[in-house]
């Protein structure tokens, strides 16, 4: 299998803080210590390239993780509930809606990066059990050293390929499987097939949900194929993206959610509407029309997502 790691594509400015919609950190929480802005940026070689930790100009304990110059994650050590990237906020909405507020959940994260979503889950849902697949062990070591996790969080990081971890996941145990798997700036083909989706469905509890962050550009051929792929496995599927991305006018992120049970579309729509960046949800007939005759990807036919255009990070 090809090397896979967590990747994040940011094609617009970072969202401003939105305290009115962000969950409140757990009462009495003591922020983890870690790198301070006074120490300045850090460049460090990792297996997947050169990692850079860059201080956030607006948040005194927040750090951007970049890999070979591409924005990957934003972590605020003082407030792990802050999700600065639009795609992370949308995945955060799905975490919020996975169970009643504050209830612990079991989550399998495929792709780790700076562990932003695992931190968010641990803070908003104390005592949650989380496993993260991140093949780049040198990146994980850097993150643990400079942006440490809190000792009370039940987060286990495994240095292995995302699909290999999914293949060994216990059957029916996860409330959420979140795929944010990138090799470089592309979703690897072996983590974007019907067989991969079937493995995710196997790992989920009966009421569990699968969510994925993907990227695409003009014509959206990869996104259309991914919708067709999930619809071949799950009866309920929706897509969330900026209108400009859905029209193929701009390269960017699209969030897919799938389940064997009805998705919380009304509440998800209300939460997406509060985001600083406008988003649209496609579901049902409109989502079927979106596929435009695309066929499910399989292990025999899969290709990675398209490379981002030159200059997309600038």
Domain map (residue ranges) of the chain: 5-291
Q: What pLDDT is stored for residue 4 in this prediction?
A: 39
**Which single residue is written with the structure tokens 């067709």?**
228
Res. 10: pLDDT tops 50: no
From the list 285, 288, 279, 221, the residue with the least C-alpha distance to 255 is: 279
Strands 204-216 and 174-179: parallel
Which residues have a Cβ under 8 Å from the Cβ of 281 and sit 6 or more positions away? 238, 239, 240, 265, 268, 269, 272
Q: Give the Cα separation of 245 and 158 in Å (integer).
A: 33
Position 7 confidence tier, pLDDT thresholds 50, 70, 90: very low
Q: What pLDDT is stored for residue 19 in this prediction?
A: 32
pLDDT, tens only, 293-308: 999 999 999 999 999 9
Which has the minimum average pLDDT: 1-10, 23-32, 74-83, 153-162?
A: 1-10
pLDDT, tens only, 143-186: 999 999 999 999 999 999 999 999 999 999 999 999 999 987 89
Res. 22: pLDDT tops 70: no
Q: For all residues of the chain together, what is the average pLDDT?
A: 90
Q: Give the Cα separation of 50 and 159 in Å (integer).
A: 18
Q: What pLDDT is stored for residue 31 in this prediction?
A: 58
**Which single residue is written with the structure tokens 């757990």?**
26
Structure tokens at 243: 């209108």
Which residues have a Cβ under 8 Å from the Cβ of 80 and sit 6 or more positions away? 25, 116, 119, 120, 122, 123
Q: What pLDDT is stored for residue 30 in this prediction?
A: 53
Range 5-291: architecture per CATH: 3-Layer(aba) Sandwich (3.40)
Map the chain to HEC letters: CCCCEECCCCCCCCCCCCCCCCCCCCCCCCCCCCCCHHHCCEEEEECCEEEEEEECCCCCCEEEEEECCEEEEEEECCCCCCCCCHHHHHHHHHHHCCCCCCCCCEEEEECCCCCHHHHHHHHHCCCCEEEEECCCHHHHHHHHHHCCCCCCCEEEEECCCHHHHHHCCCCCCEEEEEECEEECCECCHHHCCHHHHHHHHHHEEEEEEEEEEEEECCCCHHHHHHHHHHHCCCCEEEEEECHHHHCCCCCEEEEEEEECCCCCHHHHHHHHHHCCCCCEEEEHHHHHHHHCCCCCCCCCCCCCCCCCCCCCCC
If one counts every other C-beta atom within 10 angstroms of the C-beta of residue 312, the result is 17
Give the residues across from 70 on adjacent strands.
Answer: 67
Which has the minimum average pLDDT: 3-12, 117-126, 146-155?
A: 3-12
**Which single residue is written with the structure tokens 């090809």?**
2
pLDDT, tens only, 209-262: 999 999 999 999 999 999 999 999 999 999 999 999 999 899 999 999 999 999
């Amino acid at each position: 299998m090809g090397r896979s790691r967590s990747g994040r594509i940011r094609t617009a400015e970072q969202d401003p803080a939105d305290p009115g919609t962000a969950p409140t950190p757990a009462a009495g929480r003591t922020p983890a210590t870690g790198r301070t802005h006074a120490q300045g940026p850090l460049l460090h070689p990792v297996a997947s390239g050169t990692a850079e930790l860059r201080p956030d100009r607006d948040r005194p304990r927040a750090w951007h993780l970049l890999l070979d110059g591409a924005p990957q994650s934003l972590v605020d050590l003082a407030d792990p509930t802050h999700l600065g990237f639009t795609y992370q906020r949308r995945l955060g909405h799905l975490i919020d809606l996975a169970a009643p507020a504050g209830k612990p959940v079991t989550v399998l994260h495929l792709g780790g990066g700076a562990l932003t979503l695992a931190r968010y889950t641990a803070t908003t849902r104390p005592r949650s059990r989380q496993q993260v697949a991140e093949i780049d062990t040198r990146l994980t070591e850097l993150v643990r050293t400079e942006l440490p996790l809190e000792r009370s969080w039940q987060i286990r990081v495994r240095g292995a390929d995302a699909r290999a971890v999914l293949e060994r996941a216990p059957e029916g145990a996860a409330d959420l499987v979140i795929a944010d798997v990138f090799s470089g700036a592309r979703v690897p083909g072996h983590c974007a097939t019907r067989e991969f989706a079937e493995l995710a469905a196997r790992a989920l509890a009966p009421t569990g949900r699968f969510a994925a962050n993907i990227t695409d550009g003009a014509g959206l051929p990869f996104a259309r194929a991914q919708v067709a792929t999930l619809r071949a496995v799950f009866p309920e599927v929706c897509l969330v993206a900026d209108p400009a991305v859905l029209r193929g006018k701009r390269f960017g992120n699209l969030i897919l959610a799938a389940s064997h049970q009805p998705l919380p579309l009304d509440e998800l729509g209300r939460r997406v509407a509060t985001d600083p960046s406008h988003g649209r949800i496609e579901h049902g007939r409109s989502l079927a029309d979106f596929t435009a005759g695309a066929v499910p990807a399989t292990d025999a036919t899969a290709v990675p997502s398209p490379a981002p255009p030159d200059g997309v990070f600038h």
